[in-house]
Amino acid sequence: MAEKQLSGLRVAAILTDGVEQVELLEPKKALENAGAKVTVISPKAGQLQGFKHHDKADRIPVDMELSKANPADFDAVLLPGGVINADALRMEKKAQDFVRVIDEAGKPIAVICHGSWLLVSADLMDGRTITSWPTLQDDIRNAGAQWEDKQVLRDDNWVSSRKPDDIPAFNREMISLFSQGVDQSRRVA
């Protein structure tokens, strides 16, 4: 893996209160170490409450309000999990629209744990293959996707993972997928 293989890549990390902190911070760190710029985007300004499972963790600063975020300004999306985060975020029409535009453009999406609820609510599951926290499998199947219990899974422009224990594999596949996006954008330019 090249030191800064994601140099210039703009990643939108979309989340809200209740995010599983490690599912944001570890992938964010891996992306930044590879040269990407990660922008934390939320429906609310200020700071978000991170969680470690069911317990409050650190406050996480928001870089941009969702109402001001334009999908055209980003090359990829990171959707961390956390039950509270994912359940609230899936109801945000602007978040649904954002991931829909990213997906329709063929840009990469990395999703872990409960984060896939947003993709379900955005009506993007039909014909896809994805993994997630196991309790989401019925929602995913009912939305038209195939669910598999795997540490990490790639399907076209998506990479998905189940839980915090899977983060090392998730990060490797996410960086690999996102670097293909960089390669494609450089060929177009």
Partners of 13 in the β-ladder = 40, 78
Using CB atoms within 10 A of its CB, is residue 188 exposed (0-12), middle (13-18) or buried (19+)?
exposed
Type of residue found at 130: I
Nearest to 28 by CA among 86, 65, 88, 77: 77
Helices (H), the chain: 21-33, 83-89, 93-104, 116-121, 137-142, 167-188
Residue 122 scores a pLDDT above 50 = yes
- Report the pLDDT value the prediction gives residue 4, as an integer from 0 to 100: 84
Nearest to 90 by CA among 65, 57, 63, 124: 124
CA distance 138 to 134: 9
Q: Per-residue pLDDT tens for 51-79? A: 998 999 999 999 999 999 999 999 999 99
CA distance 32 to 63: 15
Catalytic residues: 113-114
- Report the pLDDT value the prediction gives residue 103, as an integer from 0 to 100: 97
- The structure tokens listed for 140 are 């995913």
- Report the pLDDT value the prediction gives residue 178, as an integer from 0 to 100: 96
Q: Token match 């991931």: residue?
A: 99
Q: What angle do CA 113, 126, 18 make, to 5 degrees?
A: 25
CA distance 45 to 174: 27
Average pLDDT, the chain: 94
Helices (runs of H) and strands (runs of E) counted in the chain = 6, 12
Count of beta carbons in the 10 Å neighbourhood of residue 151: 15
Residue 176 to residues 57, 96, 169: CA-CA distances in angstroms?
A: 30, 25, 11
Residue 184 scores a pLDDT above 60 = no
- pLDDT above 90 covers a percentage of the chain that reads 91
